[in-house]
Amino acid sequence: MKRPAWTQRKERSNLPLMRFMTWLSLRLGRRVSRIVLLPASLYFMLASPAACRASRAYLSRALGRQASWFDVLRHLVVFGATIHDRIYLLNERFDLFDLRLHGQNIVSETLAAGRGAFLIGAHLGSFEVVRAIGRTRPDMRVAVTMYEENARRINAILASINPAAKQDVIGLGQVDSMLKVREYLDTGSMIGILADRTLLGDARDSMQWIDFLGSPAAFPLGPLHMAAMLRRPVIFMTGLYRGGNRYDIHFEKLADFTHLERAARSAEVQAALTRYVARLETHCRSAPYNWFNYFDFWHTEQAQSAANVASVAKPGGVRASGSGPTGTEDVSPEGNAANVANVANGTSATTVSSATETPPAIKTAAPDLTSHSGNA
């Protein structure tokens, strides 16, 4: 089955080098060790032309003008800065950062219900800074979900930075993995998923085409279908890097599927996805250099084809390629873990984006943007 370009890029992280950079950064300090960011970004402007073209195309949309190559350079520097900051966040050096919370009352109210929640984000800003907040609050445990191959890789990388972070990652792909997700939620904890990338390039009933920054783009239905099937609330979250040591962490209520009836599931999931994309566009325009999808996100030819088909089948508004087979599936109050697992791993043609991918090895120059244009 055809897979999108971002899944086909070889991961080139280097564990020994990552350990060395972690050691060096922790001893030299954040300010001194950041000197690698500019030369690293210049290097990747030369070494990764496809990623830079994608960056410039995205920035032109987000900025509302033709992006310059200086804009691209700034885009790469911001990405490198968030990767570098992971070293300190994973080692609980929160004192180095100015973390500004917005909407934290939404999280507190949701956690008070005791059923957990899904934190739905994107490759926008730093998810690690959101997880860091979870480690500072005893009542807020946050785990991320991703596919098995990515989970093994991220566990190895996180363990090289801080072994304590390894336990926060849940691998998907098997029934027992989804049981772990449900068990985690039942303890009142939160599950993080990044929901801005489709996994199966030709599984059109697993995605929905929605206008995003001026053109239709494909977004996966899987993450929200999973939340709906498990009947949990959903919170949009992002940790935007604002320069220096400042991060603005936003939590916004996206949906509450707690009392959702089966008959209304498809419509509610589509409405929630529309709200998700709207929030994503707002934050992309507010912090344009925080978007870390270094590939042709709009898949121009596919988008045009899907838009043409959808305009005949369902003219106007959201470009839907189908509500997906999960519209006929259900999870009883007692739970059907197999159905949920199928939604999560794509065997039911519905996909879930990985919550966070392997932090690039900061090599002699910088993080590997060519591999993390798909895995950042």
Q: Whole-model pTM?
A: 0.76
Tens digits of per-residue pLDDT, 295-310? Answer: 999 976 554 555 565 5
Tens digits of per-residue pLDDT, 21-75? Answer: 777 788 888 998 898 889 989 998 999 999 999 999 999 999 999 999 999 999 9
Report the distance separating Cα 342 and Cα 258, nearest Å. Answer: 21
Average pLDDT of the segment spanning 287-300 = 90
Task: Give the position of tokens 């950042």.
Answer: 376
